[in-house]
Amino acid sequence: MDSYKTLRNPASDEYIVKKSRFIATVKPVTSQDEALAFIAETSKKYWDATHNVYAYIIREGGTKRFSDDGEPQGTAGIPVLDVLEKSGLTDCAVVVTRYFGGIMLGAGGLVRAYSHSASLGVSAGGTVTRAICVRGKITCDYGFYGRLSSLIPENGGIIEDTTFEDNVTVTFRIKKDEAQAFRAKLIDTSNGKSDFEAIDEFFADID
């Protein structure tokens, strides 16, 4: 998998339906251990809640887990997981906390409430696409630097650092599948005077 979509930030949101209070807490995670620690932390925070329903998806190993935490089977954990799946998200966890308000919602009402709450949490956290990127380094003279500083973003790259010494050294990242096209453009634009050194590869935000 060269790219994937995940949550941008930890977040929470809540709403009330028929006096039941639903609180969705979301977080980007990268392992099952991290997901379970987040679930435990959130459940401890809302220790007095009626239910702490959760779902998470981990990219590595394709792990998917959910819990109804005492709600009728199929009315809570699955709807929360379904929100993540339909949003195309991975490496993320959601806990939907419920404080029962005394009015029964029925199976259909629970499904709608947990699904809506999870959607609110995902919207609050925002989403981001992460892709395999190449980090590169280019050293050029001051005469070419002005063109280089615009050439990188024009070709989908992101400048991370610039060092000004006898020459200028620019560190940048670009999607792996766009790196060779950028290299050809760089060599052509500099009349063969500049190329980039690939330092490493890693997943990074691209939007």
- Boundary of a domain, candidates 67, 99, 125: 125
Residue 176 CB partners (closer than 8 Å, separation 6+) = 2, 131, 132, 133, 134, 201
The pLDDT score that the predictor gives to residue 41 is 97
State pLDDT tens for residues 104-157.
999 999 999 999 999 999 999 999 999 999 999 999 999 999 999 999 999 989
150 and 48 fall within a common domain: no
Do residues 65 and 138 both lie within one domain?
A: no
Same domain, 121 and 136: no
Mean pLDDT of 154-182: 93
C-alpha 86/C-alpha 83 separation (Å) is 5
User: pLDDT tens across 54-93, in order?
Assistant: 999 999 889 999 999 999 999 999 999 999 999 999 999 9
- pTM of the predicted model as reported, rounded to 2 decimal places: 0.80
pLDDT at 207 over 70: no
Tell which of 125, 160, 190 closes a domain.
125
What total of structural domains would you count in the chain?
2
Range of the domain at 55: 3-125
Can you give the CATH number for the domain in which 59 is found?
3.30.230.30
Q: pLDDT averaged over the chain?
A: 94
Report the pLDDT value the prediction gives residue 18, as an integer from 0 to 100. Answer: 94
